[in-house]
Amino acid sequence: MPEPPTLPRRVAVPLAALAVVAVGTAGWALLGPGRSSSQADDAPSRTATATPAPASPAATSAPPSAGPTTLPDPDAPSIAFFGDSLTVGVGAPPERGYAWQTAEALGWPIAVVDGVGGSGFLAPGEGEPMPDRVDDVVAAAPEVVVVAGGSNDAFRGYEPAQVQAAATQLLTELRTGLPDATVVVLGPFVSVLLGGTQEDAMTAAVRGAAEAAGVPFLDAAELVGSATSGRQGLRPYLSADGLHPNETGYGVLAGALAERLPPLVP
């Protein structure tokens, strides 16, 4: 099965604002059947800017899709995305991951997209764990921040209690750095990836962190499950690497988030 393309590890799109939506999802398909945890955590991430730049053919597994045809509403809240390779959009053409598709659907300008492949609340992945990158997100001063993390921690074998403590600290630091922020946590996809029907321990840990920080929690498995109800599995939504969503798959997540986020932002 082909390996995903090698891309720079981070996305950073500075743009001023004031709040936070934290999304604690760490992967739709970071680890599929027959894949090892090391393969999942080695998935690359990349860098982009607010103004899309043409990518070379070697930098993507598919031709770039057309971006939004209209500029975001200047009065809309700016949004930031913070997480792992899912946040970066590995598996989709440049700037067609869920971060860009969610912002496009909402008409919200992107403040920053900060993703490190394989990272989590404790897992460093290809660079730094998420708590070590909080200052970068705060510096972008977004009005909304979507933070995705947790599945790589599970696949790397970190204890849920340790992850919960790290996630709670991260959310607390975001709220301190962005005192007017709205913080929303979206749980990881561990139960979906492993085929379970009950809430897994890592999702429960991330949920607990959200409760401890006093912020709302969205269940990622429920979002994706409802959006794909009645369809034949996730295969049509996966990229060629078999690990990450393709553009359509990211679009499913983006559509679900675009429905849930506005009521949570004052």
pLDDT at 45: 45
Q: Which H helix or E strand runs over 81?
A: strand 79-83
Q: Show the tokens assigned to 160.
A: 């849920």
User: pTM of the prediction?
Assistant: 0.76
Say whether pLDDT at 35 is over 50: no
Q: Which residues contact 3 (CB under 8 A, 6 or more apart)?
A: 241
pLDDT at 167: 97
120 touches 158 (CB < 8 A): yes
pLDDT band at 24 (very low <50, low <70, confident <90, very high): very low
Q: What residue type is 143 in one-letter code? A: E
Tens-digit pLDDT profile for residues 50-76: 433 333 333 333 344 444 445 657 789
What phi-psi label fits residue 91: left (phi over 0), alpha (psi between -120 and 50 degrees) or beta?
Answer: left
pLDDT at 254: 92
Say whether pLDDT at 175 is over 60: yes
Tens-digit pLDDT profile for residues 188-232: 877 655 655 556 899 999 999 999 998 888 888 888 777 776 566
Say whether pLDDT at 113 is over 60: yes
Mean pLDDT score across all residues of the chain: 75
The CATH number of the domain covering residues in 37-45+71-264: 3.40.50.1110
Residue 114 to residues 58, 89, 97, 251, Cα–Cα distance (Å): 22, 11, 13, 19
Q: Tell me how far apart the 2 most distant CA atoms of the chain are, in Å.
A: 46
Percent of the chain with pLDDT over 70: 68
